[in-house]
């Protein structure tokens, strides 16, 4: 009798333990389904954070769950994976970029991530950016991986875009504008988006002009050196005059391009005296003539300024700290202004 009573007690305790475990599991599961929204005690209100979330092509539930957890979008990786399995959506995640929020619960996140996302990113190439700067913009936007080489078949591109001529560089041809780039685009496909835009917006300005590539190079110098259109026209005339009389162009921006290896976004391009001795074909202090390629991607205004240079009695110009461009006829006058305004 005592033995039967003991067995009954054991079974009862086992059942109660199992029920308790189930309750704990269910409670944890539903806890894990909730959003990670944090209550703001000071304001007495809930605050949420908007997050751009990207699913790479080929990523599965495990990778997606880890990234969601790192970005504080889910409470539990295990609960997230379990919910996707129970709901039958574990294989339905779509590559793309999604607008998510810490206010979203796991069911809401899964619903968002299993619908067709935006397979494009929007990027902006601003005036004066270089080709390498454009690569950094693409990486920041998620269109390009840092480990992915940004190289293209120049021979094929030259056969498709006649204006490239014999150029081995795309510097100067990434026309400043806002672009939409497909997430699964190859570097070649990305570059074609840029070149199509150059063909539509910049090439009509240059087409048919004598030595138009030199004009594009000049426009890139103006873009980096001078902010105002009228001053750019004056500087264009000065640089053309210097080149004509076989005087070094002495453009600081070309030194900055050489010093930074063509990557200006994350480099201090300020020039010191020692930089004028840089061993580079872009050193316009030691090399006569134009640099071998543009030093940036000029916008329409800089191109128009390069096409409409103004004659003047000046041979020197100076970009003052105020942003004003100062002009001088002689070197002595130029040096006096340097001492006063720099």
Residue keyed to tokens 């997606």: 64
- Residue 85, helix vs strand vs coil: helix
CA atoms within 13 A on the CB side of 322: 7
The structure tokens listed for 37 are 């929204």
CATH of 46-113, one of 3.30.70.1060, 3.30.460.10, 3.30.700.30, 3.30.1490.480: 3.30.1490.480
Reading the chain (342 residues) residue by residue, the pLDDT tens digits are: 555 555 656 666 666 667 677 777 667 677 778 888 754 444 444 567 888 888 877 788 899 999 999 988 988 888 888 888 888 888 888 777 788 888 888 888 888 888 766 677 889 999 999 999 999 999 988 888 888 888 889 999 999 999 998 888 999 999 999 998 888 888 999 999 999 999 999 999 999 898 999 999 999 999 999 999 999 999 999 999 999 999 999 999 999 999 999 999 889 888 888 999 999 999 999 999 999 999 999 999 999 999 999 999 999 999 888 888 999 999 999 988 888 877
Rounded Cα gap, residues 315 and 59, in angstroms: 60
Intervals of CATH 3.30.1490.480 along the chain = 46-113
Report the candidate in 233, 251, 326 with the shortest Cα–Cα distance to residue 294: 251
Cα-Cα end-to-end distance for the chain:
104
Q: What is the CA radius of gyration of the chain?
A: 31
Rounded Cα gap, residues 193 and 130, in angstroms: 16
The structure tokens listed for 210 are 């004598």
Please count the helices (runs of H) and the strands (runs of E) in the chain: 13, 8
Report the candidate in 220, 224, 232, 233 with the shortest Cα–Cα distance to residue 252: 224
Query: Do the bridges between strand 325-328 and strand 316-319 make them parallel or antiparallel, or are there none, so unpaired?
Result: antiparallel
Report the candidate in 163, 160, 258 with the shortest Cα–Cα distance to residue 215: 163
Estimate to the nearest angstrom the gap between the alpha carbon of 73 and the chain centroid.
25
């Amino acid at each position: 009798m005592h033995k039967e009573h003991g067995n009954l007690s054991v079974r009862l305790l086992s059942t109660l333990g199992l029920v308790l475990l189930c309750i704990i599991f269910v409670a944890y599961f539903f806890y894990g389904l909730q959003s990670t929204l944090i209550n703001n005690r000071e304001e007495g209100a809930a605050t949420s954070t908007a997050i751009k979330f990207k699913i790479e092509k080929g990523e599965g539930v495990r990778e997606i769950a880890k990234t969601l957890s790192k970005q504080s979008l889910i409470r539990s990786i295990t609960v997230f994976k379990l919910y996707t399995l129970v709901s039958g959506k574990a294989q339905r995640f779509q590559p793309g970029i999604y607008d998510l929020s810490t206010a979203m619960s796991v069911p809401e996140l899964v619903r968002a991530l299993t619908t067709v996302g935006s397979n494009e990113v929007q990027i902006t190439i601003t005036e004066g950016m270089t080709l390498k700067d454009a690569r950094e913009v693409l990486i920041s936007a998620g269109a390009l991986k840092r480990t992915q080489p940004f190289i293209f078949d120049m021979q094929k591109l030259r056969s498709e875009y006649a204006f490239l001529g014999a150029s081995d560089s795309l510097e100067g041809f990434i026309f400043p504008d806002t672009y939409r780039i497909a997430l699964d685009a190859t570097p070649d496909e990305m570059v074609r988006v840029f070149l199509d835009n150059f063909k539509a917006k910049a090439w009509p300005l240059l087409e048919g002009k004598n030595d138009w590539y030199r004009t594009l190079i000049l426009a890139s110098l103006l873009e980096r050196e001078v902010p105002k259109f009228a001053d750019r026209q004056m500087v264009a005339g000065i640089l053309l005059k210097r080149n004509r009389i076989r005087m070094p162009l002495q453009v600081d921006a070309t030194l900055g391009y050489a010093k930074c290896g063509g990557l200006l976004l994350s480099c201090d391009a300020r020039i010191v005296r020692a930089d004028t001795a840089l061993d580079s074909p872009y050193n316009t202090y030691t090399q006569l003539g134009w640099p071998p390629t543009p030093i940036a991607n000029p916008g329409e205004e800089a191109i128009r300024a390069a096409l409409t240079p103004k004659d003047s009695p000046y041979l020197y110009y100076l970009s003052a700290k105020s942003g004003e461009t100062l002009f001088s006829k002689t070197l002595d006058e130029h040096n006096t202004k340097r001492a006063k305004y720099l």
